[in-house]
Amino acid sequence: MTGPAAPPAPRGIVVVTGTGTGVGKTVVTAALAAIAQARGARVAVVKPAQTGVRTGVPGGDTPDVDTVRRLAGIIDTHELARFPDPLSPEAAARTAGLPPPDMGAAADYVRKLAESRDLVLVEGAGGLLVRYDPEGTTIADLAVELGAPAVVVAAAGLGTLNHTALTCEALAARGIISKGVVIGSWPRQPGLAELANLTDLAVVAGEPIAGLLPEGSGMLGRTEFLAIALAGLGPRLGGEAARAGAPA
């Protein structure tokens, strides 16, 4: 007797953005990539601009695309620009005396990749409206240019309701389709605020939470990470969570 068919993984181009920095965008990107690849999709991951990583410095921060490779086993990763200081891409480029990211070229690059991949995941830097160049181009502008939907990664605790509401409003104002809000790091011992936010984030987003990933997921091995991704993300994102957003 066969069980229910697995939900399809997202296809096309999907932008992964967040309500701010440090909310778990890279781990969620890896989870989406791992699920899609496990179901036979050809997956590429693009980071238009990486900041806060100094090339050739032992013990420095790990580039986000390297984390995706380790967790998801995706080798088709593309970092288009890198700047050493942990600032917005525009500020990091300015501080380093380097040209800012070319977001028009980034859009062309992503479109070219999408011609031969089933899924291209584009991970932004920081929050949705972080500046990439002196003209004020953002990852939201890139999503509009690509006609791509967005996954919003949010924090679990206090302050997340306001940040998530502002992010969702900014998406809607630009006509960007939301594929859902994911809590990027669910604490092992959630408090009252976190538990209340499971309900309130759904109200803010106007739809059920699309999933959550447990704290520490980014430290797992590849096989265990895939299992966590499938269990933590809801069917809309290709996962198998019976009720996305419900703590285990």
Please give the angle made by the CA atoms of 226, 50 and 12, to the nearest 5 degrees: 50
Q: Is 17 helix (H, G, I), strand (E, B) or coil?
A: strand
- The alpha carbon of 136 is separated from its chain's Cα centroid by a whole number of angstroms, namely 21
* Contact indicator for 60, 90 with CB cutoff of 8 Å: no
Which of 93, 74, 75 has its CA nearest to residue 84?
93
Catalytic residue among 25, 47, 112, 179: 47
Q: How is residue 54 written in tokens?
A: 């100094």
Q: Is 166 helix (H, G, I), strand (E, B) or coil?
A: helix
Which residues of 80-137 form beta strands (DSSP E)? 82-83, 119-123
- Look up 112 and say whether it is catalytic: no
Q: What are phi and psi of 146, to 5 degrees?
A: -90, -10
Q: How is residue 201 written in tokens?
A: 């984030």
Q: Is 121 helix (H, G, I), strand (E, B) or coil?
A: strand
3-state helix, strand, coil in the chain (%, to 5): 40, 15, 45
Q: Which residues are designated catalytic?
A: 47
